[in-house]
Amino acid sequence: MQQRYVGNSGLRVSALSLGTMTWGGETDEQDASELLRTFLNSGGRHVDTAASYADGRSEAMLGSLLGDVVSRTGLTISTKAGMTTPDGRRGVDTSRNAMLTGLDASLARLGTDYVDIWFAEAWDGNVPLDETLSALEFAVRSGRARYAGISNYTGWQAAKAAVLAGFPLVAAQAEYSFLHRSPEAELIPAVEDAGMGLMACAPLGRGVLTGKYRGSIPSGSRGASARGSASVEPFLAEKPSRTVEAVCTAAKGLGRTPQDVALGWLLAQHGIATAVVGPRTPVQLKEILEAQLSPLPPEIARALEDVSAAA
In the chain the domains, ranked by start, together with CATH numbers, are 3-207+259-295 (3.20.20.100)
C-beta separation of 39 from 284 below 8 A: no
Bridge partners for 173 per DSSP: 151, 199
Using 50, 70 and 90 to split pLDDT, how confident is the model at 93?
very high
pLDDT tens-digit readout, 197-219: 999 999 999 999 999 888 777 77
Determine the residue type at 170. Answer: V
Average pLDDT, the chain: 93
Helix (H, G, I), strand (E, B) or coil at 26: coil
Average confidence (pLDDT) over 142-166? 97
Handedness of CA 184, 185, 191, 192 (dihedral sign): positive
272-277 and 197-201 strand pairing: parallel
Burial 279-298 (b: 16+ CB within 10 A, else e): bbebebbebbbebebeebee
Distance of CA 52 to the CA centre of its chain: 14
Tell me, rounded to whole angstroms, the distance of Cα 2 from its chain centroid. 17
Question: Quick one: pLDDT band at residue 180, thresholds 50, 70, 90?
Answer: very high
68 vs 38, higher pLDDT: 38
**pLDDT band per the 50, 70, 90 thresholds, residue 232:** confident
**Looking at residue 311, what is its pLDDT?**
44
> What pLDDT is attached to residue 97?
96
Q: Is the pLDDT of residue 86 over 70?
A: no
Q: Give the ranges where 117-186 is alpha helix by DSSP (H).
A: 129-141, 155-165
pLDDT at residue 88 tops 60: no
The CA distance from 152 to 119, in Å, is: 10
pLDDT tens track for 238-255: 899 999 999 999 999 999
pTM reported for the whole predicted model: 0.93
Q: Are 186 and 154 in contact (CB under 8 A)?
A: yes
pLDDT of residue 80: 98
Cβ distance 256 to 292 under 8 Å? yes
Pairing relation of β-strands 12-14 and 3-5?
antiparallel
Distance separating the N- and C-terminal Cα atoms of the chain: 35
Q: State the pLDDT confidence band at 236, using cuts at 50, 70 and 90.
A: confident
Using CA atoms of 52, 56, 61, 66 in order, give the dihedral in degrees to the nearest 10.
Answer: 90
pLDDT digits (tens, 9 = 90+) for 263-307: 999 999 999 999 999 999 999 999 999 999 999 999 999 999 999
Lowest-confidence segment of 81-95, 172-186, 193-207, 233-247 by average pLDDT: 81-95
- Going by C-alpha positions, the residue among 24, 120, 118 that lies closest to residue 77 is 118
pLDDT for res 84: 72
